[in-house]
Amino acid sequence: MKIIVAIKQVPERDARIRIDSGNKWIDLEDVEFSMNESDAYALEEALQLKEAHGGEVIVVSAGPERAGKTIREALAKGADRAIHLQSSDETELAAYDALGVARLLAASIQDEKADLVLTGLQSDDLGLGQTGVILAELLGLPHASLILKIEVAGNGLKVLRELEDGWFQHIELATPAVLTIQSGNTKLRYATLMGIKKAKTKEVRVIAVADLVASDPSLKPTAPSVVLDQVKLPHKQRSTQLLGGSPAEAAAALVEKLQFEVRVI
Amino acid sequence: MTVEAGVSVAKRVVGGSFLLEDLTPDDVFTPEDLSEEQRQVASTATSFAEEKILAQAEAIEEKDFAVTRELMRELGELGLLGVDVPEEYGGLAMDKITSAIVADNLSVSGGFSVTLGAHCTIGTMPLVWYGTHEQKAKYLPKLASGEWIAAYALSESSAGSDAMNIRTRAKLSEDGKHYVLNGEKMWISNAGFADLFTVFAKIDGEQFSAFLIERGTPGLSVGAEEHKLGIRGSSTCPLVLEDCRVPVENLLGTAGKGHHIAFNILNVGRYKLAAGTLGGMRFAFRNGVRYAKERVAFGKPIATFGLIQEKIADSAAAIYATESAVYRVVGAIDAALADLNHDSATYAQDVQKRIEEFAVECSILKVLGSEALERVADHALQIHGGYGYVEEYPAERSYRDSRINRIFEGTNEINRLIATGFMIKRAVAGTLPLMPAIKKVMDEVMAGPGERVSYDGPMAAERALLASAKKLALFTSGAASQRFGNDLGEQQEVMGALADILIETLTMESCILRAEKQRKANAPGVKLAKYYAMRAFRVIETAAERVLGAVAEGDMLRTQMTIFRRLAKHEPANAVILGREIAAAMVEAGRYRI
Amino acid sequence: MSSVLVFLEIKNREISRISWEAMAAGHQLAASLGVPVDLAVVANRDNPLLQTIHGKVPRTVYAIDDPLLHDYTADGYTTACAQLIEHAKPTYVVFPHTYQVRDFAPRLATRFQQTLISDVTGIEAGPAFTRQLLQGKLNASYHHSGSEVCFLSIQAGAFRADAAEAGSTAVEPFLPKLDATQIRTKPGEPFRASAQTVDLTSAPILVSVGRGIKEEANLPLVQELATALSAELAASRPICDAGWLPMERQVGSSGQTVAPKLYLAIGISGAIQHLVGMKGSQCVVAINKDENAPIFEVADYGIVGDLFEVVPALTTAVRKVKS
């Protein structure tokens, strides 16, 4: 089975949040990056499928040069090769909305004719949760989202999909297909030192965004339909009354509130 | 700056030359220079430490060795036990920086780190360096995979620092097929569950030699676990050898040359120990900082109080300094090994010779790391107040675990003597041009106050301190040699004080070069380097005064003190403000972050 | 003529709460634009649920009906909705941000060469749409450019459902042209992992525990507090993923949505996925050692501190008051 995993490099979870001077994104100076969490699970699913059924795992990632680090991390974990859709700087991709980025990704993986395309459910930074589903539409493939488990069944797949309120369902679909993977259902592997050593010798095909656009003018970001105007730090939805003092004092103060103001005791 | 792995970024410097050479930032390796591959190794090690080792911290502490062995096996699977093992024997044969990174980032449990160090370094390296092909093929794959655990048995009840004084005897059997060993070993790490022991004994009471002994060999028995102050998660037992018959093919290296093994292993053991203290420091520090953020007193988190911030800043600077020195020295070792031919028949000896060149630096790192760890662990405990003194919080464990580091791999007293002693030996032998340098400083200071060199850049003041430190080091060494001549080695207190000057000079220089290499005046490292440099210089001043007081009196002393004051002259920076700024950044991050 | 078209979702044999909220958002948007609101539901025109539609009165309710839509599939819904949009030509299409919508709406938007503005938490003048980035640590304001149809999905709890108004609405059946070959996935029957034995949604007090508890062995600490308060024990996703508590005790987007009188969040940082499941609570108390944890943004009372100290103290204090 030939599996493509679309992964994204995002700021680390405990990154310092400071809005940059353009008010469009955070200041990336001194920010560390890591692989988007649900993408890491998508990669893990792909590697497990390959181990069980053979085949090839190819990662694709759109981002500036720094995303190469995350790509090589995926190679170290066991992906066979990679496609880096490389933007020239931090802002080039910001001119595209989710559909625009998905078009670029689709154009860069089209020729691979993969049996399966996996992505994480959503990114931890923009959180749009759409790239995988849009990719399916662009590639003309069926899809299923919020997937926890993938089994090969006959000529197709049987996948476990998470529903709301603790419900689940199985979905059967033929390959080629696109699946978006939910986090948390399996243990993520560590990159072994052997894998890290080998990663250096694996192929990373770098495609410059500008070159891809030049080859297909319909990919141009002429007018994204959705435009980010500005970002702000959230204001509190409620005013929190902080109860201080020693643990015992804070506990006593809280119990008093629960008794006389919330009236639940 | 990221560079390709395997490409050495450090200049090839001569071991021990740090008092003589003026290096530029580009000459040294710093933690910021780690290659992407090395960073990935660090990431695997860190994740393993956080998710696997810490999760089992209690079981480890309770000597549930099944857990320890399982963790070791998992580490083996990941390749983390095989960094220094050749590829043909199941290892990865990676660089020494990578080896240090693994020791560094896996250290979140003192007990487990001891298991790991005893296995990877003193347990495995003798075999890597001295084993025959058959010995290596038989044992190394098992050690690299974690299937077998190794132990190193040198110490005895009455032979510790004076290791050559061991009493364990070996005798060739009449048929010439076995050595028969008799004796007792003490303080053997991993003994409780190790599968392979490297045991030192004297053949016929004379030839100091090493033997590979498998667990279960008749005549080898393991005694009861010691009840230790700290590192309780590690196994420490005596061994008893009673007519233990070891096949002759298990003699490691050449009969009578066992001291080469013992001494050369120690250099690696020392820098790896120092690397391991880094992980321990960051762990203790993080616990202290988090507590300081959470604990409220007088209506405010205690992290807002100056004397707490001072502890945080001092700890952070100690971590930064140790990191700077460890990675600089190990980077220099990698640079020294870079041009060796792996296929040469003498490769293993060549490697040891090159590493031995850095024996002074290895001893310095050992003392630096162990004392910095103890300092950081002590600060973390103190920040916790009463809670630091009870087992519910990890501060207490860090504090107890830190203590052993000043004792094993050569006590800090022995290592101080080695640092100064080796330096003097090199000077006398002329392998390092220290004598001319000392003479030059002596002439210069006797000539009276000269022009002060001025420096630029964000570290200008610290550069000036460093120049003074080097001169003080040469000046005090010269003064001590003049006074005691060949007897200087007997003056342990003076040797110790000189070692303090060496340690702090190397460390301070490492901090300064690292901060400069970041090439940003506002880089967080700049503040830490400045903070540490001040502290280092205070230590140097104290030690220099101690040396001078011991080597001169009357007019001579007055003259020397005048020179001393001239060399040490500087205006103190505002350590209070600097400390608060450092602490604020660390408290915001909730951990050591630069 | 332009309009706002709101899709309602039927779940558990009723129109889901979040659908009313999406409808309120649709009405707010329509009022600002001065255009009418149409509704769409996948249902037969005679489905009695259509009579339960309340709130502000819409212009038309489209009942999208086809046997191939009885079981939800992304392909079926996408094609049917696309045909309705071609027919009704709305300027804005508003969805509740549910798992089902997340599954097909991006695909639908793509058919119109558009990007869905997902998980919207607010609509300001412009219109500008607010959504959260970096897991709630940042708010971003977006606008839609061009004259083509714009797709939005509305986060649970972000809008308050409108009060009912008098008036009647014409239900207009919409029969899409669907072909079984267009549907490429075969959905199975939904199931629960295990029989449900607790109903978090009816508990007046919930004591909910998150990652801060560190180890399964520490759970009794929180259980004791729950017992003292006569509360049910709940948890955030990592706790249930780890198997420390059953899935049925999970609060959040993949678990239960709750609105108790008191929600006590212990060691829960407050990722959006969790907040959407509990922010309707009447009173939220958060105990967390990180003063910057997003949970404090929705908390009425907060204690910044080590839960291992605060929780036992609280249990003692509650017991003292109750005895």
Question: Taking CB atoms and an 8 Å cutoff, what residues of chain A touch C118?
Answer: 127-130
Domain boundary among B237, B252, B267: B252
On the question of pLDDT at B1 being above 60, the answer is no
Confidence of residue B242 (pLDDT cuts 50, 70, 90): very high
Q: How many CA atoms lie within 13 A of A23 on its CB side?
A: 5
The DSSP element (H or E) to which C312 belongs, if any, is helix C307-322
Question: Taking CB atoms and an 8 Å cutoff, what residues of chain C touch A169?
Answer: 187-191
The per-residue pLDDT for range B330-380, each reduced to its tens digit, is 999 999 999 999 889 999 999 999 999 999 999 999 999 999 999 999 999
Question: Taking CB atoms and an 8 Å cutoff, what residues of chain A touch B94?
Answer: 193, 197
For residues B566 and B420, membership in a common domain is answered with yes
CB-nearest to A255 from C75, C140, C317 is C317
Could you read off the pLDDT tens digit of each residue along chain C, which spans 323 residues?
A: 589 999 999 988 889 989 999 999 999 999 999 999 999 999 999 898 888 888 888 999 999 999 999 999 999 999 999 999 999 999 999 999 999 999 999 999 999 999 999 999 999 998 999 999 988 889 999 999 988 999 999 998 788 888 877 777 789 999 999 999 999 999 999 998 766 678 888 888 999 999 999 888 899 999 999 999 989 999 998 898 888 998 889 998 778 888 898 999 999 998 877 888 898 888 999 999 888 888 988 899 999 999 999 999 999 999 998 88
Task: Calculate the average pLDDT of chain B.
Answer: 94
For residues B164 and B122, membership in a common domain is answered with no
Instruction: Tell which CATH architecture fits domain C200-322.
Output: 3-Layer(aba) Sandwich (3.40)
Q: Min CA distance, A102 vs chain C (Å)?
A: 10
Residue A34 structure tokens: 């890591």
CB A37 within 8 A of CB A82: no
Who has greater pLDDT, C100 or B299? C100
What is the Cα–Cα distance from B116 to B100, expressed in whole angstroms? 12
Complete DSSP assignment for B310-365: HHHHHHHHHHHHHHHHHHHHHHHHHHHHTT--TTSTTHHHHHHHHHHTTHHHHHHH
**Where exactly are the structural domains of chain C?**
4-182, 200-322
A vs C: CB pairs below 8 A? 260
For residues B568 and B424, membership in a common domain is answered with yes
Residue among C139, B589, B590, C270 nearest A16 (CA):
B589
Instruction: Decide the pairing of beta strands A226-232 and C283-288.
Output: unpaired
**Residues with Cβ within 8 Å of residue B298, at least 6 apart in sequence:** none
Question: Taking CB atoms and an 8 Å cutoff, what residues of chain A touch C298?
Answer: 237-238
> What CATH number was assigned to the domain covering residues A2-233?
3.40.50.620
For residues B300 and B395, membership in a common domain is answered with yes
C→B contacts (Cβ < 8 Å), by residue, are: 215, 289-290, 304-306, 308
Backbone angles phi and psi of C192, in degrees to 5: -100, 150
Residue A131 structure tokens: 């790239």
Domain boundary among B121, B149, B177: B149
CB-nearest to C302 from A26, A170, A242 is A242
For residues B129 and B164, membership in a common domain is answered with no
DSSP A227: E
Q: Is the peptide bond before B31 cis (omega within 30 degrees of 0)?
A: no
For residues B491 and B560, membership in a common domain is answered with yes
CA angle, corner C149, sides to C148 and C150, nearest 5? 115
Report pLDDT for B2: 37
For residues B192 and B326, membership in a common domain is answered with no
- Residue B131: domain span: 2-149
Residue B374 falls in the annotated catalytic set: no
The domain tally of chain B equals 4
Report pLDDT for B6: 45
Best mutation target among A9, A70, A193 (most B Cβ atoms within 10 Å) is A193
What is the Cα–Cα distance from A58 to A80, expressed in whole angstroms? 6
Complete DSSP assignment for B182-220: EEEEEEEETTTT-SEEEEEEEETTTEEEEEEEETT-TTE
What is the Cα–Cα distance from A126 to C115, expressed in whole angstroms? 13
Using the structure block, give the residue that is written with the tokens 């709890």. C157
Report pLDDT for C199: 81
Report pLDDT for B507: 98
Q: What is the pTM of this model?
A: 0.86
Report pLDDT for A17: 84
Best mutation target among A44, A188, A190, A192 (most B Cβ atoms within 10 Å) is A190
Report the percentage of chain B scoring pLDDT > 90: 86
Report pLDDT for A237: 60
Q: Min CA distance, A197 vs chain B (Å)?
A: 7
Who has greater pLDDT, B4 or B191? B191
For residues B143 and B156, membership in a common domain is answered with no
CB-nearest to A245 from B83, B296, B588 is B296
Q: Domain with B545 in it: what CATH number?
A: 1.20.140.10
For residues B203 and B274, membership in a common domain is answered with no
3-state secondary structure B212-275: EEECCCCCEEECCCCCCCCCCCCCEEEEEEEEEEEEHHHEECCCCCHHHHHHHHHHHHHHHHHH
Report pLDDT for B219: 97
Is the Cβ of B40 closer than 8 Å to some Cβ of chain A?
yes
Domain boundary among B252, B279, B295: B252
What is the Cα–Cα distance from A129 to A26, expressed in whole angstroms? 20
The per-residue pLDDT for range B180-195, each reduced to its tens digit, is 999 999 999 999 999 9
Report pLDDT for A234: 79
On the question of pLDDT at B252 being above 60, the answer is yes
Report pLDDT for B31: 96
Report pLDDT for C196: 63
Our separate counts of H helices and E strands in chain C read: 7, 18
Backbone angles phi and psi of A166, in degrees to 5: 80, 15
What's the CATH class of domain C4-182?
alpha beta
What is the Cα–Cα distance from B320 to A46, expressed in whole angstroms? 40
**Where exactly are the structural domains of chain A?**
2-233, 235-265
What is the Cα–Cα distance from B385 to C125, expressed in whole angstroms? 54
Confidence of residue B476 (pLDDT cuts 50, 70, 90): very high
For residues B425 and B511, membership in a common domain is answered with yes
Give whole-number Cα distances, C44 to B572, C47, C62, C70, in Å. Answer: 84, 5, 10, 10
Q: Which of B357, B409, B509, B541 is catalytic?
A: B409
Report pLDDT for C273: 79
Look at A261-265, B212-216, B378-382, C130-134 and tell me which has the smallest mean pLDDT: A261-265
Residue among C111, C120, C108, C116 nearest C151 (CA):
C116
Name chain A's partners: 3 or more CB pairs within 8 A: B, C
CB C213 within 8 A of CB C311: no
For residues B15 and B51, membership in a common domain is answered with yes
Best mutation target among C155, C184, C247, C276 (most A Cβ atoms within 10 Å) is C184
What is the Cα–Cα distance from C2 to C304, expressed in whole angstroms? 50
Q: Domain with B37 in it: what CATH number?
A: 1.10.540.10
Q: How many CA atoms lie within 13 A of A202 on its CB side?
A: 25
How many other CB atoms are found less than 10 A from the CB of residue A153? 12
Using the structure block, give the residue that is written with the tokens 């001295």. B130
